[in-house]
Amino acid sequence: ASWGKSDTKELYRMIDDEKRIIEVEVIEGGLKDLGFDYLLIRAEIIEKDPQTTIVRSTVDYEIDDKLAHKVSLIKMECFQTAIEAIAKYLNTEK
């Protein structure tokens, strides 16, 4: 998978089909290569109506204070393809 500019390895911490939540920890590559000690992406799929789905996503991270300026490099656009795939998967599992 590719959460950032390089290949990454992820660990799926949680997939809850009923609550429609997924949590993925980046354990190698991607944004971890920029100095992040911990990086967890969480996506929750919320169906507003039959034609509208809302994706609430968060990123939890830990990084050395000296590298804190790199936090601004986290852009949800990096995760757009993965979040869309997650939403599609969870919508088919309802």
**Exposed, middle or buried: residue 89 (CB in 10 Å: 0-12, 13-18, 19+)?**
middle
* pLDDT beyond 60 at 94: no
Q: Is residue 2 part of a domain?
A: no
- Number of domains making up the chain: 1
Using only C-alpha atoms, the chain has a radius of gyration, in whole angstroms, of 14
Q: Is residue 1 part of a domain?
A: no
Q: pTM of this prediction? A: 0.71
List own/partner pairs for 89-92 with CB under 8 A and 24 or more apart: 90/17, 90/20, 90/22, 90/45, 91/45, 91/47, 91/53
Q: Give per-residue pLDDT as tens, 29-67.
A: 888 888 899 999 898 988 888 788 888 888 899 999 999
Q: Is residue 3 part of a domain?
A: no
Q: Is residue 4 part of a domain?
A: no
Alpha-carbon gap, residue 58 to 1, rounded angstroms: 18
pLDDT bin (cut points 50, 70, 90) of residue 3 is very low
Q: What is the pLDDT of residue 43?
A: 87
Q: Is residue 43 part of a domain?
A: yes
Q: Is residue 68 part of a domain?
A: yes
The amino acid sitting at 93 is E
Measure the CA angle with vertex 83, ends 36 and 72; round to 5°: 35
Specify the higher pLDDT residue, 60 or 93: 60
Mean pLDDT of 2-13: 69
- Structural domain range at position 31: 9-93
Specify the higher pLDDT residue, 39 or 90: 39
Mean pLDDT of 5-13: 78
Q: Is residue 51 part of a domain?
A: yes
